Chain A
Amino acid sequence: MAEAVRFHFDVDGDNFASAGEASVQVKKLLRQLALSPEVIRKVSIAMYEGEINMVIHANGGTADVTVEEDRITIVLSDSGPGIADIDQAMQAGYSTAPENVRSLGFGAGMGLPNMKRNTDQMQIESTVGVGTTVTMVVLI
């Protein structure tokens, strides 16, 4: 059995223009691993949404992607404000994004629902004032 392959990315919170870069990098790497296009797309979309969330709400964070025999695990970690009510945040259309971000076409409240839709497992751990960690699994 092949050993897990790990990728680590720092998601820069100050640079909105480069938000989404890590997911593009991951897509490039996953293409090399002979994964099915469907799996690559799911990971890419879920990670893109998560990455944008970290930039909008948490001034950036880290993204860790682990590829194993049967799954890809994405862990997005930030030290942002945390999510007070996770169930509410998961509702489609619910958003706390500031106006300047919405004016760029982001903050439609579809980020977390999209992440859930594109992954097989998703878990959010969050403490208000401390930060949030989202763990997503896409089965291969």
Chain B
Amino acid sequence: MSNFKHSVSLIAEKCKGCTNCLKRCPTEAIRIRDGHSVIDEDRCIDCGQCIRVCPYQAKRASSDRFEKFADYKYKIALPAPALYGQFERLEDIDYIISGLYECGFDEVVEVARAAELVSDYTRKYLLREGIKKPVISSACPVVTRLISMRFPFLSDHLLPILPPIELAAKLAREEALALHPELSDQDICVLFISPCPAKVSYVRNPIGVERSAVDGVLSISDVYFKLVSVMNHLDRLDHYAKTGIIGISWAGSGGEASALLNDKYLAADGIDDVIKVLEEIENENLSDLAFVELNACHGGCVGGTLNIENPFIAKARLTNLRRYLPVSMNTSPRESGTFIPEEYFWNKPIDYTPVARLSEDRGKAMEIMARIQQVNDEFPQIDCGACGSPTCRALAEDIVLGNSTDSQCIFILKEKYKELKKETEGVHDGSTTEDQAGS
């Protein structure tokens, strides 16, 4: 059993046991058992695809409730840039930030600010000699987890700089302590306002650092309704926003990459295409690129399942919102040249945690594989999912590993039924003749 704390879970009573999530899970982590879906925690990457495709809203992402943090003396909100795209006819980000203060936060630190710093430091990082290229963005936690599970060679391609969420939390804490010397670290809670379940999981299982500086994660959809009601009744609007075009653009696919002012980049979004790009990088086919931005959600973070608004609409709103802003409002000190402070780097290596192995012993794994091949040959290869496994091959694996039986295959059942029917009809015919003879 894994120690990974997930955020995506099932509401069993809503689940009908249909095959929508089963068929769309990119890591084959779902099975249908006893009429409802079951998630394999070792394989789940919290991408939220099952939440997106479930017609019965039976999948949910467990984020934190604001009330849980009531006892902290000083509460800091870290709004993700995707939040800015959720509001209709919003002219100014200051309404959102003012609204967050109104909701009970003592401080608001825009993650977009940290994102602009990450962009600046990434530009410097790309100038370094001897780094593995293409450098892969480490901002999407689904991508970093996928790499740690499946692409061991790509972990040293990952950008080893703290992702915006982590850098924002670190800066927020430091600024709060500097501004309020009476506070101690335990008085402060930093709450990220998230567009996706993967960020909820990230905070519980951080990558690159021992412990995340974020204390809790609220969903954009929860915060949205509180915000809309207070935003309509703001009595004053201060000038709070400290983000330029670059920071806001991080909310959409291509934002992070285009901020590098370097043409040799690729930006892919949507988990299936992300996996294809990772395969290509591993095969050394994209070595001429400097940077690869990958977002598990279509459209980037605005496509996350904890948002309110359709990703395309959100993106259009962001384009409108950033129109008269400067390119960037957060940069490293000019005199620092290409220097990147050590504290901005990851301080913990990424462990390779393969999940696909049939056995840790290769000989045994080969025996199991041979049996799987045999069992799989019996199946029709139509991958219908009616058995509760996503593909015929997966069913073969489940059977050999003792997690299913071949009687789950309705095609095999149909064949058996036909045979049985033929036999009983034969018997029935025989008995009719005897009956007639006897009468």
Contact = CB atoms under 8 A, between A and B. Distances in A.
Interface of A: 1-6, 20, 23-24, 27-29, 31-35, 37, 41, 44-45, 48, 67, 69, 140
B397 to A, nearest CB: 8
Contacts of B150: 31
26 contacts: A1-B363, A2-B363, A2-B367, A3-B370, A5-B373, A27-B282, A28-B356, A32-B356, A32-B357, A32-B358, A32-B369, A33-B362, A33-B365, A33-B369, A34-B354, A34-B357, A34-B358, A34-B360, A34-B361, A35-B362, A37-B152, A37-B153, A37-B352, A44-B282, A48-B285, A67-B366
Interface string B328-371: 00000000000000000000000010101111111111110110
Contact of B362 (A3, A29, A34, A37): A34
Interface string B147-183: 0001011000000000000000000000000000000
Given A5-B366, A23-B283, A34 B359 contact: yes
B369 A5 contact: yes
What 4 pairs between A and B have smallest CB-CB spacing?
A2-B366, A2-B363, A37-B152, A31-B356
A69 B362 CA distance: 8
Nearest to B370: A5
Nearest to A38: B153
A27 B370 contact: no
Interface in B351-396: 352, 354, 356-367, 369-370, 373
Contacts of A41: 153, 282
Contacts of A69: 363
B279 interface: yes
A32 B365 contact: yes
A122 to B, nearest CB: 18
Nearest to A106: B285
Contacts of A2: 362-364, 366-367, 370
A27 B352 CA distance: 16
A1 B364 CA distance: 9
Contacts of B357: 31-34
A2 B362 CA distance: 9
Given A5-B373, A41-B282, A45-B283, A33 B352 contact: no
B40 interface: no
B272 to A, nearest CB: 12
B429 interface: no
Contacts of B370: 2-3, 5
B91 interface: no
Nearest to B356: A31
Interface in B274-333: 279, 282-285
Contact of B358 (A23, A33, A37): A33
A96 to B, nearest CB: 21
B127 to A, nearest CB: 26
A45 B357 CA distance: 21
A48 B283 contact: yes
Find the residue from B285, B359, B373 having the highest chain A CB count within 10 A: B285
Nearest to B285: A48
Contacts of B366: 2-5, 33, 67
Contacts of A44: 282-283
Contacts of B285: 48
Contacts of B359: 34
A41 B278 CA distance: 13
Contacts of B152: 37
A24 B153 CA distance: 15
A131 B292 CA distance: 39
A116 to B, nearest CB: 15
A17 to B, nearest CB: 11
A28 B358 CA distance: 12
Contacts of B282: 27, 41, 44
A37 B369 CA distance: 18
Contacts of A45: 283-284
A35 B365 CA distance: 10
B377 to A, nearest CB: 12
Contacts of A35: 362
A34 B283 contact: no
Given A3-B367, A33-B357, 4 more contacts: A1-B363, A33-B366, A67-B369, A69-B363
A44 B284 CA distance: 10
A48 B294 CA distance: 23
Contacts of B369: 5, 29, 32-33, 67
A67 B285 CA distance: 25
Nearest to A23: B283
Interface in B31-65: none
A32 B354 CA distance: 9
